[in-house]
Chain A
């Protein structure tokens, strides 16, 4: 089975802190994604990457950056955390070249910014 692992289940950070969310997948997948889930808004794409050192902006990239130094690892960085970034963050990966298709998700990180 594909395993997508996010480093933390729950995080509490202070406003203005730099926050790192880590994601690792073990299936040699090309594509990796970061989404956030908010009630009534569904899952919104923040950033994605289809290759090492490549990144593309999703629908809501403002306030975030990403890093993909190795194929299996995709990090989401909140440069200066704000309370409106309190959310559930979900990492996903998929193996189809150039297509998301059937993406596999991690267990999520519930981030609270106080």
Chain B
């Protein structure tokens, strides 16, 4: 049972444009959401997070939006840069805590 789902395995955008990565979840007990970025042959690195009491969190070029009623979150990258090309994982944690549940990942390619 996949509780966190990233339906797009890949996304390709032009440099300077907006990248929008999407994530859906099914577990109503999730109260904390994160995005991680992963380059090949490296471990994931934390990018941005959002608590369920918020609907938006911004950090520089990265903004995460949370729509609790739709059980959907998205990551916006503006403007996209070639160095953003990586696999992006969405993750969530339940109120009871202690573990992160990850989505399948989306490969973002930003073309110069």
Complex formed: what's the CA distance from A76 to B17 in Å? 42
| Residue pair A110, B41 in contact (C-beta under 8 Å) | yes
B101 proximity list for chain A (CB < 8 A) = 45
How close is A17's CB to chain B, nearest CB, in angstroms? 23
Q: Could you mark each residue 7-30 of chain A with 1 if its beta carbon is under 8 Å from any beta carbon of chain B, else 0?
A: 001000000000000000000000
- Pair A43/B34 contact, Cβ less than 8 Å: no
Query: In the bound complex, how far is the Cα of B34 from the Cα of A100, in angstroms?
Result: 11
Contact between B89 and A48, CB atoms less than 8 A apart? no
Chain B residues with CB under 8 A of A107: 41-43
Report A28-43 CB contacts with B as 1/0, cut-off 8 Å: 0001010100001111
Q: In angstroms, how far is the closest chain B Cβ from the Cβ of A29?
A: 13
Across the interface, name the chain B residue whose C-beta is closest to A100: B100
Would you call B45 an interface residue if the criterion is a C-beta within 8 Å of the partner chain's C-beta atoms? yes
- Chain A neighbourhood of B46, CB < 8 A: 102-104
**Interface residue B15 (Cβ < 8 Å from any Cβ of A):** no
Residues of B within 8 A of A (CB): 4, 6, 9, 32, 34, 36, 41-46, 49, 89, 91, 93, 97-105
